[in-house]
Amino acid sequence: MRTTPNKKELIIGLAMIGSSLAYLVMAYQLPGHGGVDAGTVPALLAGLLILLGAMQVLSAFAAKPVAVEAAAPSTGDLPEVPAETAAPDVIEPRTVILTLALILGYMALLGPVGFPIMTVVYLYLQFLVLTPVTQKAKHLSYLLISVISSAVIFLLFREAFDLMLPAGLLNNFI
């Protein structure tokens, strides 16, 4: 992850242009292009987006890497604010991917398996994934918290707020 700010800004700029182009192509496929119609605003927006993306790419070439590094405000008037993470940020792509996979699985199975079961499974696994490195996983309390939160949320919304969360497999029992 040791990309220089300059290169990072360039990648951001390219991503901006890429998404703008995709939008432009879709905007041109809209029916009818006589005068001002439903396609006008999207086309104008696409043009603006591409322009801004191009400016970002240009600024990535122009900016010295140092200037971006110093962007954190170093105003003499203000004392330093300690950041929440005292240690230099350790970035873990693995945890991010695991978390995303868990959320994805949770949402995919929410319909067929149902909210009560999936919430217990998701919460338990997500607690495990996010447990800080300095702590041991407390399996029993994790499981208890998962079951209690799932039950409380499900019943609270069902009884008090008239929201029928999908019960899935438990449909016949509740």
Partner 1 sequence: MLDLLQQGFGAVFSINILLLMAIGVAVGIVFGAVPGLSATMAVALCLPLTFTMGPQAGLSLLVALFIGATSGGLISAILLKIPGTPSSIATVFDGGPLMEQGHGAKALGIGIVFSFLGTLFSIAALMFIAPQLAKVALSFGPHEYFAIAIFSLTLIATLSAGSMVKGLFAGALGFAVSTVGIAPVEAIRRFTFGVSELNGGFSMLTVMIGMFAVAEIIKLAETGRHAVQGKAKSVSMKNIKGFGFSFKEFREQLPNAGRSGLIGLGIGILPGIGAGTSNLVAYIIAKKRAKDGHTYGKGNIGGVVASETANNAGIGGAMMPLMTLGIPGDTVTAIMLGGFLIHGIQPGPLLFISQGPLVYTIFAALIVATFMMLFMEFYGLRLFIKLLDVPKHILLPIILVLCVVGAFGLSSRLFDVWSILLFGVLGYGFVKAGMPAAPFIIGFILGPMAETNLRRGLMLSDGNFMDFFTNPISGSFLAIALVFILWQVYSAMRPKQSAINEILRS
Chosen residue from 6, 10, 114, 122 binding partner 1 by CB under 8 A:
122
Q: Select 103 or 169, whichever has its Cβ closest to partner 1.
A: 103
Q: Select 66 or 71, whichever has its Cβ closest to partner 1.
A: 71
CA–CA dist 5, 8 (Å, integer): 5
| Interaction mask 3-42, partner 1, x per CB under 8 A | ---------x--xx--x---x--x---xxx--xxxx--xx
Chosen residue from 121, 126, 143, 147 binding partner 1 by CB under 8 A:
126
Task: Tell me which residue of 124, 107, 126 sits closest to 165, measured CA to CA.
Answer: 107
Q: Select 4 or 149, whichever has its Cβ closest to partner 1.
A: 149
**Does residue 92 touch partner 1 according to CB under 8 A?**
yes
Chosen residue from 147, 153, 167, 170 binding partner 1 by CB under 8 A:
153
Q: What angle do CA 142, 163, 129 make, to 5 degrees?
A: 25
Nearest distance, CB of residue 152 and partner 1, angstroms: 10
HSE-up of residue 116 (Cα within 13 Å, Cβ side): 17
34 burial via Cβ count (<10 Å: 0-12, 13-18, 19+) = exposed
Q: What angle do CA 3, 73, 69 make, to 5 degrees?
A: 20
